[in-house]
Each structure stands twice: as C-alpha cells, then as structure tokens.
Amino acid sequence: MKESSLSPLNPTQVQKAIAKCTEKIANEPKSASMHADLGHLYLQQKKWQAAKNSYEEAIKIDPEFAEAHGYLAEIWTHLDNPYKAADSLDLAFKLKPNSATARQHHELAKTLQEQNKPGRAISAYRRGIKINPGFLSAYRSLGKFFFQREEYQQAIALYRQGVAQNPQNPRFHLALGQALADLEKWFQAIESYQTVAQLNPNLPELYCYWGQALVKIDRTAQAEEFYKKAIALKADYWQAYYQLGVLWQKQQKWSPALLAYRKVRSIEPNRVNILNKMAVVYRHLQQYDLAIACHREAIKISPESSPSENTAIAAYQKTLAIYPHVTIQHHYQQAKLLRAKGRFVEAIAAYQKTIELDPQFKLAYIDLQYIPIAKDRLDELIEFYRGIVAQNPNITIAWGNLGDALSQQNRVPEAIECYRKGSYEQAIQKQPHLTQLTWKEKQESGPDFIIAGASKSGTSSIYYYLGCHPQVLLSHKKEIDFYWKNFQRGIDWYLAHFPTITDRPDFLTGEATPNYLRFPEVARRIKQTFPKTKIIILLRNPADRAISWHYHKFNTGLTNVDLTTAISEEMKRLKTVTEKEIIETGFYNPDNILSSLYIYKLKPWIEILGREQFLILKSEDFYQNPALQMKQVWDFLGLPNYDLEQYPKVNGGSYNEVDSSLRKTLIEYFAPYNQQLEEYLGVQFNWQ
C-alpha cells in the first residue's frame, strides 16, 4: 500500500497534529481521508486501538478506501489477530490490485489458504498471476492447491494458461508435464517433456521426470539412460540416483540398486525412504545385520508416528521374522528403540518376545518396570508374567513385575504375595544359607536407608554397591516409589518389597527412588511412617545432571524435544514462577532445570527430617574414588567396611557431546543457586 501523506513528526508535533485533526473532523465528520489521517497520527504513537477506530470510521464512510484497509491490516497484525489482518489486506489488494506486487499477492494467498479461506486464496493467487503472468511460483502454488481440492481439470487448465502466456519458458512446460504425470497421463506428460527438451535440453530434472514417465509405459531401458543423463548434467542430483535405484531394485539388480541408494545417502543422509529401500535390498542379499542397521537408523530419524516410521517399524519386524540367526539382543535392541520413539505398545511386545526367548534376561524386565502400560493391556501382561513364574519360579524380577501389574489393577493382596515371594527368592539366591534361618511371614520394620536422589547422579551405582555387602539385603527392585506414587497402597504393600529377614538387627535393607528428592511431601511421609530411616543423597553438577536427565527422557520416549529447545522453554517458564512453586512442584515438562535446583529441593527435606539423618555425597567424587566414598556410606549406616573388587558404573547414560555454549549457559544459570546450597550445607562443591 502507498505510504501515508503525513510526514513523520516528533512527539510534540504529533500531539498538536492530533488536536488539529480532531478539530477538523468535528467540522467534517464525513471526511474519510480526515479519519484516515487521524489514524496515521495514532500509528506514529503506536496507539493501535485508537488508530483502528479511526481507520474503521474511514472505511464506514468509504468502504472502498483501499489504503485504510491496508493500514487496518497492519494494526490487526500488531494486535495479534492474523485472521482479521489477512481479511483486511485481502480487501485492500482486491480494491487496488496494482498497489501490491505479484509476490505480495502470492504471500497473501498462502496465508489465506492456511487460514482455510479457499475462495479468497484462489482469487489472490489469480491476482498475482494477472499482475505477473510469468510468476511460475504462483502457478505451482495454485496448481498444488487445486490438486489438494481434487479440482484436477482446473489445475491442468491453469498450467496450460501458463504455457500459453510463456511459450518459450521451458519450466512452464515442465510444470504442465509434472501435473499431467500426477494424473497418470503419461503420454501427454511426455509430449510436454519433449517440448522442454527442444527449448532447453540441459535441465537435469527434465530427464528425471521424463524417466519416471517412461518407466510407467514400460520403456525402462530409455528411462535408465535418461536418469544417467540427468546425473551427467548434475553430479549430485540425488533424485536421479534414487530413481535408478528403484528401477534396478524392481529388476532385482540388487548390487547396482544398493550402489545407487548409497550415493543418495552420501548426498542426502537423512532421507528415511532411502534407508527403508536399502534395508529391503540388504534383506534380499541376506545381509540381515546391515538391513537391521538401516531399519534402526530409519526409525531414529523418522518423525514420530509418521508413515515413514510406520514403514520402517513394519519392515524391521519382517526382517527379524525371517532372519535365520536372530538373537535375543536383536529383539531387545528393537524394544529399546521402540520405547525411545514412544511406541510403547510395540515396545512391550518386543520386550515380551525377548523374555520368551530367554526368561532369564533381566534387562528386559527392568525396562518393562519403567514403561507406561495402558490399562487395557494389563490382563495380557499379567497372564504373561504368570506363565513366566509358573515355569521359572526362581526369576525374582518376574515376581516383582507381576506384582506391579497387579498393583495397577488395585489387586493389592495378590501383589503383596508376589513381592514377598520375589524378595525372599532374591535374598536366598544372594546368600543361600539364609534358608536355614527363621523368616517372619510379614515385614514390620521400615527400610534402614533410602537413596532419595538426585536422579542421573549415580544412584544406580551406589544401590548396586550397597547390595554387594553381606549384611545388606535390598528391596526386590530399585525404585519402589512408594512415598509419592504408591502411598495410597498402604504400608503392608511397601514393606512387602523388603525381605522379612531384615527385621533382624544383623541385616539392613533399603531402596532407591531418585525422584523422591523432588517432593517435600515425601520427607513428611517418611517422618510420619519411619522417621529413623537414613537418607543418602548424591548431587551431581546440576548442569551435567540437567543434560543427562533430558537425554534419559529422550532415550526412553518420554520427550521428543531437542535439548536446546527444552532448556530455553524451561528458562522462560522459571522466570514466571515463585520460590514456593519451585519447592512444591515435582514434575512438569520440561523439568531438567527444576530438578537440578538442589537448594530448593534439599532444604525442605533437611528441615523436616534433620541434618543428622542425611549423608550427602558429591557425584563427581563418587565416580572418581568410589571405594573411599563407600567407606563414608558404610560408616553412615554403621556397617563394617566392605571393599568390592570392582566398582562398575551402573545405568550410565549416553549422548553426543553437548554444545559448549549451552553448557556454559547452564553453568552460569546454576551458579547463584549452587552458592546458596554451599552456604546452607557448609560444603564446597566447586562445580564448573
């Protein structure tokens, strides 16, 4: 739209001009131009509402006042109303089409199309074409829109119009050919391609499209030559390599097809369909491990629940089904990948397949403990676990998983029996002589210790090391999550997770639920139930913990947001919350920073339970010298020192190196909170 006739003024001049303009309007209330001038002045003051009222008054007087409609569109944009902005701009451009460029009409048309205003969108596209009959992008956009609406004849007529108005432009003929090919009018498409070749024989895409049409009419030898000609004109033309691969694959020329697909991968490494194609070829070549590698990569890079992901998963399952040397690890890795993609139903099925092949495969049971299970799948899973324990009553973790599934159905008494059975079996397998002792039917004492956090800080490792001590008999699984998630199930449910022999003074027991630290309510419940329980806390550099927690969620299908976005979103959110909200909030998504603000999470626990109940370890020291750190743990628990032959790092995460600037941002963010923590505890962590 044309600029306002009023020159920019300083604030004092604007105010005087408004007063003068208002006076004139009082004398000439039906002057549309005067109302518009007043709107221009309000625009300079960024008084959007006042400006809007003035332009609307001008339009009321003169509905065909194009300039007023244009400025009103600008105001609606400032008022964050894109729908009304598009409507106003459409009116302005319709009244004075030549006041905008063809590209501006085109951009408006795309906006109207996105806003589901098809009639206006089509009119805007046509206005742009009328202003510039050689604007190919407008033809393509409108033609594609017609195809989406299944208005095929209008699309072809549009492309023929473009050809008629641009007879010497080969790209218009090419666009017509593509449209005809989309309608499977192969011979007509080829006629258009022949015209293109006469006008410009050096367009690589011409020969690729032409080759595809030739394949459809069974002229495959000529199609192959055309694909090769496209590559000769453009060495990195991946579409031509792809079409060659498809052609050779149909001809069962597996090795040449594979070479073509590999070339595509070297040019376009993130093309999922290429990986799916390569996997099929590898399968025909009986190179199953390479096929599986392609399936896995295709699933990893596919958008969640997309057709390409569905295709890759189905193909992966087919490959495993026919692989003559398929192993437990193949099914287990498939299950983990499906879990990471949030495909929980399929992941559970893959874990079950793994367990069917080897009921002793503990990792599959552990993963199943942490995967969301839909209520309508519980009956099937319960029967599955019942079958496992019936045949293998010594598999303690299967008893625990059966108890968890029964608990989800609120079948608490049955679950308690499963937990007691699993706890007993686990204890006597560790120390067979315990069968000679008298076992109580029911546990009465609470845990001697709880590892309460922080998550991704070494809790799995310390739990494992504790379980190696001959006087420590752990809960049947690591994370019971009684005090937060399962508190309503009752104390008997909780105590069933511990071997009853630990009621004796010569044995200790405990659990590890790292998420406990998030909730002050957990500390209050511990004080209410077993106030003498000792609390072990590991604190890791909060920047590293935040990063590791994000990738833990990403790798287990709980988020698909990238790290940078997650951190940015959470930093914005934390600007809007109070200290009380940080303390009381356990989870939200993303929550990488929230759960690393240790001063807010730890201080309420200490205030509730007392500092003497806590052993707080620095994770970095724990990793560097675990034997020395475990000496502190044994002393804290009143146990004799016990050195392990090895101190493996348990359940460590893996992810690519993080951008140093992002980590620096986190270090700077946490610095003041770390200082508060050090002052409160009287401990120097020196996190960098």
Q: Where are the domains of the chain?
A: 442-681
Give CA separation, 9 vs 13, 26, 47, 72, 632, in Å: 6, 23, 15, 21, 74
Is the whole model's pTM more than 0.85, yes or no? no
Q: How far apart are the C-alpha atoms of 621 and 535, rounded to whole Å?
A: 18
Q: Residue 300: is it exposed, middle or buried by C-beta count within 10 angstroms (0-12/13-18/19+)?
A: middle
Q: Judging by DSSP bridges, how do beta strands 614-618 and 510-512 pair with one another?
A: unpaired
Q: Measuring CA to CA, which residue among 174, 153, 172, 152 is closest to residue 164? A: 172
pLDDT score at 192: 98
pLDDT score at 658: 87
Residues 6+ apart with CB under 8 A from 470: 431, 642
Q: Judging by DSSP bridges, how do beta strands 510-512 and 449-453 pair with one another?
A: parallel
Q: Where are the beta strands (DSSP E) in 555-668?
A: 614-618
pLDDT score at 7: 61
Q: Measuring CA to CA, which residue among 393, 402, 459 is closest to residue 428? A: 393
Q: How far apart are the C-alpha atoms of 405 and 554, rounded to whole Å?
A: 25
Assign 625 to helix, strand or coil.
Answer: coil
Output the CA angle 358-359-360, nearest 5 degrees: 90
Give the chain's residues under pLDDT 50. Answer: 1-5
Judge contact between 452 and 614, C-beta under 8 A.
Answer: no
Question: How many CB atoms are located within 10 Å of the residue 117 CB?
Answer: 18
Alpha helices in 79-237 (DSSP H): 82-95, 102-114, 118-131, 136-148, 152-165, 170-182, 186-199, 204-216, 220-233
Judge contact between 393 and 402, C-beta under 8 A.
Answer: no
Tokens of 231: 């590559």
DSSP assignment, residue 534?
E
Q: How far apart are the C-alpha atoms of 579 and 575, rounded to whole Å?
A: 10
φ, ψ of residue 31 in degrees (nearest 5): -90, 105
DSSP assignment, residue 615?
E
Q: Where are the beta strands (DSSP E) in 558-657?
A: 614-618
Assign 449 to helix, strand or coil.
Answer: strand
Whether residue 590 is preceded by a cis peptide bond, meaning omega within 30 degrees of 0, is yes
DSSP assignment, residue 134?
T
Helix (H) or strand (E) holding 60, with range, is helix 48-61
- The CB-based long-range contact list for 153-162 (8 Å cut-off, 24+ gap) reads 155/179, 156/180, 156/183, 162/129, 162/133, 162/136
Q: How far apart are the C-alpha atoms of 174 and 140, rounded to whole Å?
A: 11
Assigned CATH for 442-681: 3.40.50.300
Q: Measuring CA to CA, which residue among 416, 559, 421 is closest to residue 492? A: 416
pLDDT score at 379: 97
What is the dihedral sign for C-alpha 397, 402, 408, 413? negative
Spell 516-530 as b/e; 16+ CB within 10 A means b.
Answer: bbbbbbbbebbbeeb
Output the CA angle 5-10-12, nearest 5 degrees: 115
pLDDT score at 11: 87
Output the CA angle 254-256-260, nearest 5 degrees: 110
Tokens of 468: 């190696």
Partners of 617 in the β-ladder: 538
Q: How far apart are the C-alpha atoms of 189 and 184, rounded to whole Å?
A: 8
Alpha-carbon dihedral angle through residues 432, 435, 440, 445, given to the nearest 10 degrees: -20
**Residue with structure tokens 């905008």?**
100
